[in-house]
A and B are shown apart, each in its own frame.
Chain A
């Protein structure tokens, strides 16, 4: 195995874990709505979306497990659940927007709109990856994301153009979340390294289309485009919000309290 091949494999491993972490964090968050949604129909629908995200985390981690068998390193001999459950906050590579609390229903649906719009383009591009495994995961994921987007688009219209209260809540959510959107288009070193071989996706290149589409939907939903005078990044470097550790302590409870057991 050449050095280049070995480096590519290590980068692909890290790339997979990052994409897995994005999915897991959002899946964990969305699942919080199950039994807490504003109508029973939404308990079911949000749970479906949560299941899709947890399912894709599982697929990305499975690929990471296989790659780690060859690359060795910290993930050697680890299982999907070791990767999902046994790291500390600094070792998770998810983007910040995925870990933010669920907020109110407007906040949750606004995040979905932002993320679903992004994911449809992102996974369309990844489904053409030169890495056939990533391409296959992306193809499956893309179908789900298109459905998610239909839903979040509809909800953005209903809530943005519903009542005065729902409009205000949506506008607040858009304003609060906007600062986490630039990170979606920021390339990590790992992603940059994988780009020439056509393995990763050029996030930066997706910005213009995303910006145009999200602006169009905000407009349609009678919402103002936020000023965008504040933004943060750090997730891919493992620098998270303070919410992240609490999400982990809840999610990891059993694995930490009873280490090394099968469930």
Chain B
């Protein structure tokens, strides 16, 4: 599986820079942000802090990314359904090339579009402009209950969904599937 992970060319030394960024925090965030985080004289801390997290999340497959010493030219994996192609990114004056599959490339571009859109919206609103509105959360026990409730409701036929009154009509067949699901829950 890990052999199919896309190759990531660490042209920017992003990984090192990200690690540096963490170290800088550890030194109480005071010291200058120059030294190793700049490449060719360019300040890359913005990329180091935001870029790689975002990019890697989208790019990285299930396995961990291979070390940067991997052969720079990606080998075509035998049997790989979606062929990877190099994607070149220009960001803040730097160039990075990543080998990504077609759908991942699309995901990256969609994300970029969304980010640009959000920026446009944010400018129009003085209140939400500069910080993110955090999503509302639920307690874990309630989350667990609601997902079990959902399982029960959705295990019914389409004409019965309409409230737990309909759950009363559940037969023991659906009951068994509910139990099975419950066991899956416990196992995870």
Q: Do A and B bind each other?
A: no
Please give the residue numbers on chain B whose beta carbons come within 8 Å of chain A beta carbons, in ascending order: none
Please give the residue numbers on chain A whose beta carbons come within 8 Å of chain B beta carbons, in ascending order: none
